[in-house]
Amino acid sequence: MVMHAPSRRDFLRCSLQISAISLLSPWVKASEPAPTLLSAYWGETVNGFGAINGKVVDLPSRGHAILPLPHGEAIVLSRRLGVWLARINWQRGELLQLADAAFDRHFFGHALLTPDTSTLLTTENNDDTSAGLLGIYEAHTLKRLGEIPSGGIGPHELLWLVPGKILAVANGGILTLPETGRTKLNRGAMNPSVALLEWPSGKLLANYSLPDKALSLRHLARASDGTLGIAMQAEYASASQHRDAPLLALLPPGGERLILAEQPAGLMGYGASIAAVGNEFLISAMRGNQLARWRSNGSPLPALAIPRPAGIASRGQQAWISSEEGGIYQYQAADQSIQRLAGYTQQKWDNHLVIAT
């Protein structure tokens, strides 16, 4: 792995950018600090990462998930099949470090810090065997320390079920390789799963799957009652099958199997992101133009209209939702209302949104 401090000229070629979003809504009290939201964005001629209203940072290609760090810093993951991992300062607009993927490895878009913040875990692919991996890195230097199996193919998002002890990994089940790019090579023979791994041994403790293997298990969130929510993306051969395809699977605390939540009609089978607000799950049904909502027991709540919803970030009883069409929205759980915030229309935001540390 090579780490280097690239020149500005190197990265202006692709102009991936960072900008910071400082938000103050009618629901935020004057004594409360407004959150800063971090998100990647993209376009036909530009790919970027941003803290809205912040500085621009140029990176080599399209970014995906973001891990906020203290002191205005963040770690940015390149989009699947990714070749770089970056540490940036979004307050100053600086690229601090860039690490290349290891030989025969590609990043799969998401990462997680250990509770002491010393170690970074990334979802990756073994390009030789197609097995999913978690890469292990020293968080400050981005030096690669090793890897453990992810428990499946196509690992995507991961989170702590028990901080520092048990990891949940959403293995999407989709086979992709560098020579064919993002083409899905096993669409008729997928095997998605949610694996529970012991840390740091990497021991596979449990592996959960659904009978319908065309439902790719992709993104994770945890409700206040401990229920794990998994947002899915349908991979059916027929477009008509996507219209009412399930978007949410649940793993209750102590549960022995995944449960499909009741599915409202017409959400089009693509969950771009998931977040929990108390005991409520929110999923951005991007192709259905809705913010889909469920109680943590799987019963649906009325969806809220948002054009091309993408990332979701939650704090307390509020959530913020980005739109691929450029808008930023705020959701208030108390009255189940959604409001578009003024002044944020300039970017096509990527699938993920986080609140800066």
Is 349 domain-assigned? no
Q: Rounded CA gap, 223 and 231, in Å?
A: 13
Q: In a 3-state reduction of DSSP, which class is residue 12?
A: helix
C-alpha distance from residue 7 to each of 85, 98, 161, 213, 354 (Å): 16, 11, 40, 45, 28
Is 89 domain-assigned? yes
pLDDT digits (tens, 9 = 90+) for 331-341: 999 999 999 98
Q: Rounded CA gap, 81 and 106, in Å?
A: 6
Q: Rounded CA gap, 169 and 152, in Å?
A: 9
| Residue 30 confidence (pLDDT) | 34
- Residue 6 predicted with pLDDT over 90: no
In eight-state DSSP terms, residue 113 is: E
Is 248 domain-assigned? no
Is 209 domain-assigned? no
- Residue 314 predicted with pLDDT over 80: yes
Largest CA distance in the chain: 55
In eight-state DSSP terms, residue 178 is: G
| Residue 54 confidence (pLDDT) | 60
* Least confidently predicted of 62-71, 132-141, 256-265, 303-312: 62-71
Is 220 domain-assigned? no
Query: CA 50: distance to chain centroid?
Result: 15
Q: Rounded CA gap, 50 and 17, in Å?
A: 6
| Residue 293 confidence (pLDDT) | 98
Is 53 domain-assigned? yes
Query: CA 356: distance to chain centroid?
Result: 15
Residues in Cβ contact with 293 at an 8 Å cutoff, skipping those fewer than 6 apart: 280, 281, 282, 283, 300, 301, 302, 303, 304, 336
- The residues that bridge with 88 in the sheet, in sequence order, are 74, 95
Residue 48 binned pLDDT confidence (cut-offs 50, 70, 90): low
Residue 31 binned pLDDT confidence (cut-offs 50, 70, 90): very low
Element spanning 120, H or E:
strand 119-126
Residue pair 293/303 in contact by the 8 Å Cβ criterion: yes
Which residue carries 């890195």 as its tokens?
A: 137
Q: Which domain holds residue 64?
A: 1-100
Is 197 domain-assigned? no
Is 161 domain-assigned? no
The number of distinct structural domains making up the chain is 1
Q: Average pLDDT over the chain, rounded to whole?
A: 86
pLDDT digits (tens, 9 = 90+) for 152-209: 999 999 999 999 999 999 999 987 766 666 666 566 668 999 999 999 999 999 999 9
What integer is the mean pLDDT of 112-118?
97
Q: Specify the length of the chain in residues.
A: 357
Select the highest-mean-pLDDT range: 69-73, 284-288, 322-326: 284-288
Pick the residue with more confidence: 289 or 180?
289
The alpha-carbon radius of gyration of the chain (Å, integer) is 19
- Burial (CB < 10 A; 0-12, 13-18, 19+), residue 229, is buried
C-alpha distance from residue 274 to each of 164, 189, 293 (Å): 22, 25, 10
Pick the residue with more confidence: 323 or 27?
323
